[in-house]
Structure 1
Amino acid sequence: MSKAKILALLAIFPFAMLIQGLRGLYGQSAFISIFLAITIGPILYELLTLISPNNHRLKREDYARIKLVKTGKISLNPLHHLTKAEVTLSSVLAGLSSILATFMSPVGLTVLFGDLTKESQKDELKGSLMAYAVRDAIKNATYIGGTLIPLIALGVPTGPMSAGPAHPFFAELAAFGGATPRDVLLQRYSTPTIMLVTIYATIFAAFLAYFILIKYSKQLTRFVFKKVPAEALYAIFLAIVLVLAYNDAGIAGIFGSILVGLISATFVRNGVSIGILFMVLVAAPYLVGLLF
């Protein structure tokens, strides 16, 4: 999916060596801080670019002028916003991705299937809308499946989601005793209870988030555009990443995240798909093992 295919292939092993090198320096297998460093890479690159005296011409002299198109009442029924093709494709790819997320990168899968969907359509606007629907479905499916399948079916964290953002949950369950987190759950609750609670929590969370976003999307958008500077949002996100990096590996984690962010942003700006970088993050131990 990368525009610069040769560069993308050449970037795989050096980027894997960078990740494993930082983990060796940290003395532990950091994941979340490196994951977020790749995510904020483009933002970090733009902010540092504006600091350079050679790029003062890029600074904004006045407020950006944005016009919001008038909209009528927005239906809360998602089928009114999606075509049959979008619903079908989103459902199929979300189901497939939820399984693949047990050992593959959720972000990588989201980018991969989203780009494939977009390229399959001749009409650029139609392809973009379909890709947006597919990516959103895959994003939710991979996060949920990447946590629940390793937890309930396998009992151990096996993929990027369960070994990364959801790892504290697995570690907390393991602290109660038992061979695996799955054993801890089954000792305390029946299988039907676990299934019902999981389904209930997923539906309730999805409905609540969807209702708020659809019902108040225009008001929220207007408030953000009028009251919240974009730079403030960037700074908050960057600060969160730096705090998590410090939690992962102290001061070294902060500088490591900056390094990974700048290098990943350089690759992305030169045509390498960011999905490849996330896949390399997951496969880095195996890739470096092939070299040594």
Structure 2
Amino acid sequence: MTLQLVFEMILASVGAAALYTLIGIAPGTDETAVLAPVTLALVLLGVEPIVVLAFFISAVVTLNLTDAIPVAVAGIPGGVMAAPMVPYGMILKKAGQSVIGIEKMASGAVIGTLVAVPVSLILASFLAPLSKVIAAYSAPVFFFGALFLALMSRNKVISILVIIPFAMLIQGLRYLYWGVGAVPETTTVSLSFFLGITIGPMIFSMLALLNKDHLATIKREDVRTIVIPKASNRKGFPNPFKLLTKKEAVATAASSLGGSLTFFMSPVGMTILFGEAVVNRIKDPIKKARMALASMDGLAHSTYIAGILIPLIALGIPLSPVAIGPANPLFNAAPVFTADHNMHHVLSYGDFVWATLIGSIIGLGLTYFFMMKYATHISRFVFKYIPHEAILGLFISLVAMLAYMDGGLINIAGVVLVAIVSGALSRLGVNYGVLFMAMYAAPWMLSKFF
């Protein structure tokens, strides 16, 4: 590794922290939809893999830190991962403790990252010898993973019933592209379909507004008033271990360890499951909210980081909801990365360690410091000057461009179809992870069942 590469990693990590601080504070931005397209663009532009990884780790840490701010300030999830924390954020907001809510979430995120990085690197080294065995059974693993996530969904029956039909849709579009000559038969379109799934709820909601009957049923609310809390007067670098009580710190560390070990499961599902288990015996609503915000944010960080690093280092296949979702361009980004030649194959274990350490330290250090010092100022700027619609429009246009690169004009229509179907299924309560895993298991499922 050269000094130039180290400098590029540092620069990329700082850039990711700056970019995703602004994006993370904007309410309602889905993690996959804002991480995957930018990462994919960097890979296709030929940026060094180790630099891309440092950028991605910094972006993940930053995004999961900053999307806590809308929860505490406005009671709106900054992203999907923050959604389980909204009720507890609202409790503290109504009690006039929004700043304390931000402190608890940010401190929990620090502990979650500190636990997840070493645990993920150690666990990956233990699983690496089994990579060929696990990879050989990856297709059935994806299928059973889809079933498992379906059973964890709030609408289990629908989630199970749609697995095979959705796989038929994906595989049917692939055969259509081969049949009309849009792509060679040696090319399997996956990335743009995956992006279609991520923007599905957004596309479905936008199209639903064109239905006059549906539009008439939507309840119109007054303009929402958002009160930005006063800035903290704390001086120096805030110590996360002093901002949490001993019980909060221990609970956050324990739940973060559990999240790291269950990297193959849904991060949102684990956040709800472990987070609620930690606080279910606490009676005082304020203490319960503080504990929940700290432990849930730590758990969200640990599950996310482990879900990226362990499949990437040990297996080389996206064998977790996070790896299948936002981290997918690190595994599949043809022609740069393929299933047989991706970041797992081109980076050494030492490269992974350096990229992870640089990305996480810079993302955590910069974002945590600025969150604790300037959260209110940043929130005021984002809420006032950065329209949510502009961010969504930017990423929809990026998805359209990548769809065209993946399969031409016909693929843009295919991605819209996938987005509409996945958006409708999401509205019915089907988990993202179910659709992602069904997409990857589609060839195996259809060959076995039909």
Matches for 1:132-211 after TM superposition, within 5 Å: 132-150=297-315, 157-159=316-318, 161=323, 164-167=328-331, 194=351, 197-206=354-363, 207-211=365-369
Find the aligned partners of 2:428 and 2:337 in 1 and give their Cα distance: 43
Is the contact between residue 313 and residue 352 of structure 2 (CA under 8 Å) also seen in structure 1?
no
Distance 1:10-1:169 versus aligned 2 partners, 3 A rule: closer
Is the contact between residue 245 and residue 257 of structure 1 (CA under 8 Å) also seen in structure 2?
yes
Q: Residue 227 of structure 2: SS of its match in structure 1?
A: coil
Is the contact between residue 230 and residue 376 of structure 2 (CA under 8 Å) also seen in structure 1?
no
Distance 1:243-1:61 versus aligned 2 partners, 3 A rule: farther
Unmatched segments (≥5 aa) in structure 2: 1-151, 179-186, 283-287
Partner of residue 105, structure 1: none
Partner of residue 60, structure 2: none
Higher alpha-carbon deviation: 132-141 or 245-254:
132-141
Which residue identity does 2:197 align to in structure 1? I
| Post-superposition offset of 1:52 | 2.6
Partner of residue 272, structure 1: 430
Partner of residue 443, structure 2: 285
Find the aligned partners of 1:275 and 1:42 in 2 and give their Cα distance: 14
Distance 1:134-1:30 versus aligned 2 partners, 3 A rule: farther
Find the aligned partners of 1:184 and 1:218 in 2 and give their Cα distance: 42
Partner of residue 89, structure 1: 255
Which residue identity does 1:29 align to in structure 2? T
Matches for 1:200-279 after TM superposition, within 5 Å: 200-206=357-363, 207-279=365-437
Partner of residue 173, structure 2: 22
| Post-superposition offset of 1:118 | 4.3
Identity %: 30
Partner of residue 67, structure 1: 227
| Post-superposition offset of 1:223 | 1.3
Find the aligned partners of 1:221 and 1:269 in 2 and give their Cα distance: 29
TM-score, length of structure 1 as denominator length: 0.75
Partner of residue 23, structure 2: none
Q: Residue 165 of structure 1: SS of its match in structure 2?
A: helix
Higher alpha-carbon deviation: 132-141 or 12-21:
132-141
Distance 1:264-1:169 versus aligned 2 partners, 3 A rule: closer
Unmatched segments (≥5 aa) in structure 1: 101-107, 151-156
Distance 1:172-1:40 versus aligned 2 partners, 3 A rule: closer
Find the aligned partners of 1:257 and 1:194 in 2 and give their Cα distance: 35
Is the contact between residue 331 and residue 337 of structure 2 (CA under 8 Å) also seen in structure 1?
no
| Post-superposition offset of 1:10 | 0.4
| Post-superposition offset of 1:12 | 0.9
> Paired residue for 2:197, among 23, 38, 47?
38
Q: Residue 199 of structure 2: SS of its match in structure 1?
A: helix
Find the aligned partners of 2:409 and 2:219 in 1 and give their Cα distance: 30
How large is the Cα RMSD of the aligned pairs? 3.5
Find the aligned partners of 2:423 and 2:449 in 1 and give their Cα distance: 25
Higher relative contact order, chain-length normalized (CA < 8 Å, sep 6+): 1
Distance 1:261-1:166 versus aligned 2 partners, 3 A rule: same
